[in-house]
Structure 1
Amino acid sequence: MSLVRQLWLSVILILLASSLTNFVISTYFERKNLQEQLYLKNVDDVNSLAMMLSQDDRQLTDIQLLISATFDAGHYQRIELINPEGISVFLREFKGEMESDIPALAKDFFNFQVKPGIAQVSSGWNRIGTLYLESHSHYLHEALWHRTQAFFLSFIVISLIAGAIGSFVLHFLLKPLEMVVEQAHRFSEKRFMMLPVPRTVEFAKVITAMNSLAQRFKSIIEDGNKRLDELRYKSQHDDLTGLANCEAFETLLDAQLKYRDREGHNLLFMVKIFGMNEISLRLDKQKVDKIIVDFAHVIQDFTKQIEGRYTDVRFGRLSGSEFAILLTEAEDIQQLSDILVDVVRTFKGRSRDLYDLYVLHAGVYLAPDESRTTLMRRVQSLLIEASKERALALIDNKLTIVAPYNDDIQWRKALNAALNDNIHSVTFPVVKKDGSAIHYQALMGLELDNEVRKGGYFVHWARKLDMIPQIDFKMIEFMLNKIEQESSAYDYAILLSYETMVSERSLQRISQLLTEHSAAAQHICLEVRESVASANFELFRHFTLTLKATGCKIGLKRVGDSFSTLLDLQELGLDYIKIDSAFVFNVAINASNQNFLRGLCSLAHSLGIVVIADGVTSKEDADSLYENGFDGIISLMQQF
């Protein structure tokens, strides 16, 4: 039984006990008082009647008439005259039943026992006899019964009023208890949140203790994040600009080429500053370094100007004056190149020291089954050719996979048709060390032009047409129906886009859909990219708390670069994270990544978060990951 019900029961029992006690005591004294009053009435009436009978010389017939008249005029139970020899001379007694709504049980409970009034009747000096008079107690029963009814009616009214007041007071008093229960519930969900301390001393002690626990967890997370960030930064970032260093970016490219969607609209820009050697001869090192840092900021700002036209972005500093930008699921390379030219032109106009610099870039689409060496050779060849021609940019806009649709209207029509009738799912397992599945990763496939295409083929057009939230919703709906139709006991993970996460309307539609399919929703895992969550943390918090209430699981994908920036991570109750393939690729021979991932696993496990490696390509990497604490992997090979 809940504490609230116990308190209510206690209050009701106390109120009932006190009221019954009060009723019994008051009824007892009221009954006693009425008995005394009735006895005094009997005495007064019998004395008055005896005086009337003792006047003059009355014959027995006269006495009988007076007694009968008195009996008929009043409310008497018995009037009896007994002569000195003890023989009843005359008796009038009420033997009938009076109409009454008083229950027999109440009559037995009241049970009036009133002594009769006694007086002597005489004629002169001669004693005629003794007169006994008893008043009828029926009216006392009625009076006491009506009083009892009024008492219980007032008890009910007072109880209701007291209940209403008590309910309000109890709600106010138990509000801190609700906070304690809510905090404990959040702790059970691995959400270590701090709450305000209430005024109630006992509750304040509990919440203070639990807040201390939450604060310790927060400190552990912050310290762990700080150490992880330092470790990751030293091994993977350029000290001067903060961008990925050459080795880290090359690993990222390897992972992208071997693991990512090969139908994707992914592109690589290489940007180079010419003339840095000449500037370094006339400027000190500090100013030269500042130029490099400022330029790194400029190319990072470039992505802000094309926000919404790509899915993910990575930057790298390949050499002293050479930078790289990797954009996934991006729009037309020519349009993006033109924007990059404008951004660089703005940078050159900032200072006279930059006039002698010549900045150009080359851009290519990533091709399926292409190695990193081949890709870099292609883009560097374009860069050399651009420098010879003194061109600001040179791009290769040839796509290896050409879509049959040419404009917005054709793409919208094709996507709508596919979403209505031709949705497919491509699933592959996330496996533990023993080979069992944690869940299945589910990717959407749409039948376009009589062929099932993965997301990379159409996402950039769907984004341009503002259809991304619709696509995500349809994928969730499709998987819910699949789970229900197949009575599946497996969980399925679905990657949601930035556009869906930040849209309140989309969030409410998904929440309603999951609520309507509550049983199947227990087998749905929804995830977003780490970069999206870290850049929009408050929206991600809202997203997480809203959807976890429906029973689904929430995770992060492509984790690594920004994990340390996720503040108050202990409050979210994440179920799992998937480490980016860039950190997993060739981890067996990368000691720095092993140290980073080992620390990341330890930190995540302290919060009850399952850690999964994304895009494992070899048995050696898989063994290394399991040894360093990973719970599961997504393998590119069917068997090791």
Structure 2
Amino acid sequence: MSMYRQLWFAIILSTLIALVGSLFASTMSSRAYLNEQLRMKNSDNATVLALSLSQKNIEPVELELIVASLFDNGHYASIKVTDPNGKTLIDRRANNEQIDVPSWFRDLFPIQSTPGQAQISSGWKQIGTISLVSHSSGAYATLWQSVKEMAAALTFSGLIACYLGALILRRIKQPLRAVIDQAKGMTERRFIITPESTVPELKQLSSAMNSTVLLLKSMFSEEAERLETLRIQANSDATTGLANRTHFISQLQASVEEENAPSGSLIIIRLSGLAAVNKGLGRNKTDDLLKQVGQLLLIHQKHLNDGLAARLNGTDFALLFRREDAAPIAQKLLNDIQKIFVSATEQFVVSIGFGHFDFGIAPSSLLAQVDAAVASAEAVGVSEVRQSAPLNIEHAPRSAEEWSKLILRAIEQNWVKLAYFPVIKNDGTCVHKESALRLMFGGEWFPAARFLPIAERLGLTEKLDLIAAKLALDELSKSNSSIDIAVNLSAQSIQSVDFRNKLRAILSSKPAAAKHLWLEVPENGVFANIDAFRQFHADLAPTSCHLGLEHFGRQFDKINLLHDLKLNYVKIDSGFVRNIDSNEGNQAFIKGVCTIVHRLALQCFAEGVTTPAELRTLSQLGLDAATGPEVGRQFPLLEK
């Protein structure tokens, strides 16, 4: 029994005991008073009657007539006259009187009407003794009415007492509940500050809890800041603050191998006259100019979709992003960089090359194509922008109209399926199957990267996400299905109220299967639309499905937002996993991320494992499980 119920029980029980005790004591007191009143009445009536009869020289017949007349008035239950020798001369007794009082009440509180006695005499001669008893019905009625009125008054008082008790309990309950929520929040790594109670004892408790929360929050923030610093040190160029070459190559590999990602662009910038600038201005001033270039690229990175700016070497910089047209961006970069170096030398040359890529292109081929465009621009001898030759990618892009027809036809004909990839623990246990949507075009199954970019532009992602969720539920509903399934959702989809309602309806239709469904959204989409994700979680909470973030770690500085998202897991971005066996900085970063994530009571998985060395290294860093091509090769237990 909870403390509140115990307090309520104590208040009600004590009030009830007080009411019953007061009622019983009052009733007994009233009964005693009525008994005494009846005794006195009987005694007085007998004395008055005896005195009246003694003043007459009364005959036995006349005495009987007087007694009969007196008895017939109905005020007495019995009248009895005996002679001096105890012989009964007259004895009149009334029948049992009908009383409007419950019999149980009369049995519980009997009223004893003590007979009143007096001597009848004639001068000094004793004629007899008269004994009379008054009716007790009036006393019972008076006592019963008194009890009812007192019970009503005490009940009203009890209700007032309970109301006051409720007010007191509410005053105590609210701060206690706040402290309980605060303690639960601490276990879930949510740091809640509660207002201090006006109750002195509870004020001390809430003050102590607030201090504890602030301390834990400070420790958590310090740990997050330390890891963010470590991530920056491991993956950034010391001079410009941009990503270094190692981190950039890892992110580039992840970008071109990410099946559900849209197409993107790569820009490479070469500062051809940097050596002359360094010789003329000195190292410090040259570094200041490079920092300005870095800040310029960071500004572009911030405003581009999945943007990543990097310094590849002393003279080369790169900018990787998705969806945007690279040509105007490259031209703007050329103009802005020229403005930075115009004060150093008018002969400074900026050579820029750019190219587009889709899923499946080899990173080395992409770099070679764009680098060739940079070399072509550099050969001119003046600042210039050049586009790389078209990349040799299978299935050249179609028009938006053609793609729209193909996607809608595939949906209408149900030419859809899911491919599955295992997420495996270190002991070989499968956590879940990660799914990827496939559509059939012209008899060939196409991966999501081929059609998702155009689907997003056409507003079809919600429809595709719902199809993927339904396919996963159908698979989970099969009697031989024993492994959970994860489905990737678009950040664009979860912002739609209609999508959330439809998805909840689909999940609610198969509640048993929904408990084994894992839904994950890209980190950047969640942090960019944090309120939409909170509502998404609230809408799907009753279905008991798992929720998580994929591509986690790119915006680690926003980890404080994870406190109240109530996630179940995160998947660390493959850019940090790539070549992890030789990158000690990223090893320390991932190990720290695992520590913080586990403190948040979340599971932590690794994405995009491609080599045995990466898998061996990750197994030592505290991750719960991993996925990627190498995991699929070592554990080929799932149908692709």
Aligned to 2:299: 301
Aligned to 1:71: 71
- Could you tell which deviates more after superposition, 35-44 or 223-232? 223-232
Change beyond 3 A, Cα 1:459–1:177: same
Aligned to 1:34: 34
Paired residues for 1:76-475 under 5 Å: 76-100=76-100, 102-257=101-256, 259-261=257-259, 264-280=262-278, 283=281, 285-303=283-301, 310=305, 312-328=306-322, 330=323, 335-342=325-332, 344-345=334-335, 348=338, 353=343, 357-366=348-357, 370-388=361-379, 391-396=384-389, 400-402=393-395, 406-407=399-400, 411=404, 414-415=407-408, 418=411, 421-475=414-468
Deviation at 1:534, TM superposition (A): 4.7
Deviation at 1:501, TM superposition (A): 4.8
Deviation at 1:611, TM superposition (A): 2.2
> Does the CA-based 8 Å contact 2:440-2:446 persist in structure 1?
yes
Change beyond 3 A, Cα 1:5–1:463: same
Deviation at 1:86, TM superposition (A): 0.7
> Does the CA-based 8 Å contact 1:476-1:494 persist in structure 2?
yes
Deviation at 1:17, TM superposition (A): 0.4
AA of the residue aligned to 2:611: S
- Could you tell which deviates more after superposition, 199-208 or 509-518? 509-518
> In 2, Cα distance between the equivalents of 1:195 and 1:401?
59
Aligned to 1:632: 625
Change beyond 3 A, Cα 1:5–1:495: same
TM-score, L = length of structure 2: 0.87
1:154-204 alpha-carbon deviations (Å, 9 max, x no partner): 444444444444334422321122123323333444545443443334444
> In 2, Cα distance between the equivalents of 1:471 and 1:156?
65
Helix, strand or coil at the partner of 1:86: coil
Identity %: 29
Deviation at 1:15, TM superposition (A): 0.6
> Does the CA-based 8 Å contact 1:405-1:411 persist in structure 2?
no
1:476 to 469, 490, 496: 469
> Does the CA-based 8 Å contact 2:301-2:309 persist in structure 1?
no
> In 1, Cα distance between the equivalents of 2:494 and 2:326?
25
1:497-544 alpha-carbon deviations (Å, 9 max, x no partner): 332455566556656765665544432333333334455556656655
Helix, strand or coil at the partner of 1:365: strand
> In 2, Cα distance between the equivalents of 1:588 and 1:98?
103
> In 1, Cα distance between the equivalents of 2:259 and 2:289?
36
Helix, strand or coil at the partner of 1:616: coil
> In 1, Cα distance between the equivalents of 2:181 and 2:564?
13
1:10-59 alpha-carbon deviations (Å, 9 max, x no partner): 11100110011101111111111111112222122222322332332232
AA of the residue aligned to 1:400: I
TM-score, L = length of structure 1: 0.87
> Does the CA-based 8 Å contact 1:218-1:568 persist in structure 2?
no
1:254-307 alpha-carbon deviations (Å, 9 max, x no partner): 3444x422985233222334444454455455554343333333334335555x
Deviation at 1:116, TM superposition (A): 1.2
1:577 aligns with 2:570: yes
- Could you tell which deviates more after superposition, 38-47 or 293-302? 293-302
Change beyond 3 A, Cα 1:370–1:55: same
> Does the CA-based 8 Å contact 1:386-1:394 persist in structure 2?
no
Change beyond 3 A, Cα 1:210–1:291: same
Change beyond 3 A, Cα 1:42–1:358: farther
> In 1, Cα distance between the equivalents of 2:30 and 2:532?
71
Change beyond 3 A, Cα 1:298–1:545: farther
Aligned to 2:554: 561
Helix, strand or coil at the partner of 1:241: coil
Change beyond 3 A, Cα 1:417–1:370: closer
CA RMSD of aligned residues (A): 3.4
Change beyond 3 A, Cα 1:561–1:404: closer
> In 2, Cα distance between the equivalents of 1:38 and 1:210?
68
1:529 aligns with 2:527: no
Extract unaligned runs of 5+ from structure 2.
Answer: 635-640
Change beyond 3 A, Cα 1:404–1:555: closer
Change beyond 3 A, Cα 1:142–1:545: same
Extract unaligned runs of 5+ from structure 1.
Answer: none
> Does the CA-based 8 Å contact 2:607-2:627 persist in structure 1?
yes
Change beyond 3 A, Cα 1:350–1:154: farther
Paired residues for 1:580-595 under 5 Å: 580-595=573-588
- The count of residues paired between Structure 1 and Structure 2 equals 630
Paired residues for 1:477-626 under 5 Å: 477-486=470-479, 488-502=481-495, 506=499, 510=503, 518-535=511-528, 547=540, 551-567=544-560, 569-626=562-619
Aligned to 2:48: 48
- Could you tell which deviates more after superposition, 517-526 or 76-85? 517-526
Deviation at 1:488, TM superposition (A): 4.6
> In 1, Cα distance between the equivalents of 2:374 and 2:117?
135
> In 2, Cα distance between the equivalents of 1:75 and 1:459?
104
AA of the residue aligned to 2:374: L
Helix, strand or coil at the partner of 1:111: coil
> In 2, Cα distance between the equivalents of 1:315 and 1:363?
14
Change beyond 3 A, Cα 1:534–1:39: same
Deviation at 1:108, TM superposition (A): 1.0
Deviation at 1:84, TM superposition (A): 1.0
Helix, strand or coil at the partner of 1:630: coil
AA of the residue aligned to 2:368: R
> Does the CA-based 8 Å contact 1:221-1:570 persist in structure 2?
no
AA of the residue aligned to 1:128: I
> Does the CA-based 8 Å contact 1:193-1:570 persist in structure 2?
no
Deviation at 1:316, TM superposition (A): 1.4
> In 1, Cα distance between the equivalents of 2:74 and 2:568?
89
